[in-house]
Amino acid sequence: MTIRILASVLALTALSGAAQAHAALDRANPLVGSTVASAPRTVSLTFTERLEPAFSTVRVENASGARVDQGKAQVDSGSRNVLRVGLKPLPPGSYKVFWKVLSVDTHTTEGSFSFTVGR
């Protein structure tokens, strides 16, 4: 009986086209916690799920808390799991990226990470 139930759930999981998991950060550019030699011009975040553009945001701050991003983040039109935001010219220092996204099934996830621009 247990095996039947288990098999049914697994089958439904495999077949469910509607299934959407929480959007987790899969990779970032610059890398989470990394030090880069030259200042990046954008922050690019790749998630494990497609995003709702209207409610997916990225904010980048310098060590004193001032915003250094160029405003509205954009979800890639071709790949809806990639979120990008442009950056102002960054002098060497530490920066923190704050993101909050809504995946297409209404699950909200958020996180933050740091990167450093070297001298």
Partner 1 sequence: MSRSILCQAALAVVAFLLPASASAHCFVGARFLPATLNVDDPCVADELSLPTVSRFKNGDDPSARQTDISAEFSKRITDTFGVSVGTTWTHLRPPGAPGVSGFQNVETSFKWQALTVPQHEFVMSVALNVEWGGTGAQSIGAERFNTYTPTLFFGKGFGDLPQGAGWLRAFAVTGQVGYAIPGRRSTLNSIDIDPDTGAITADIEYHPRVLVWGGSLQYSMPYLKSNIVDLGLPDFFNRLMPIVEVALQTPVANTITSGTVTTGTINPGVIWTGNYFQVAAEAIIPVNRASGTGVGGMVQLHFYLDDIFPKSIGRPIFASSPLPGSFGR
Chain contacts with partner 1 (rule: CB under 8 A): 2, 5-6, 9, 12-13, 16, 18-22, 24-25, 27-28, 31-34, 48, 52, 54-55, 102, 104-114
- Asked if 105 and 20 touch (Cβ cutoff 8 Å), the reply is yes
CA distance 3 to 9: 10
Q: Which is nearer to partner 1, 31 or 67 (CB)?
A: 31
CA nearest neighbour of 25 among 66, 81, 106: 81
Q: What three-state secondary structure class fits 10? A: helix
Q: Which is nearer to partner 1, 69 or 103 (CB)?
A: 103
The minimum distance between CB 19 and partner 1, in angstroms, equals: 5
Q: What three-state secondary structure class fits 63? A: coil
The minimum distance between CB 79 and partner 1, in angstroms, equals: 16
The minimum distance between CB 67 and partner 1, in angstroms, equals: 18
CA nearest neighbour of 95 among 62, 117, 70: 62
The minimum distance between CB 46 and partner 1, in angstroms, equals: 11
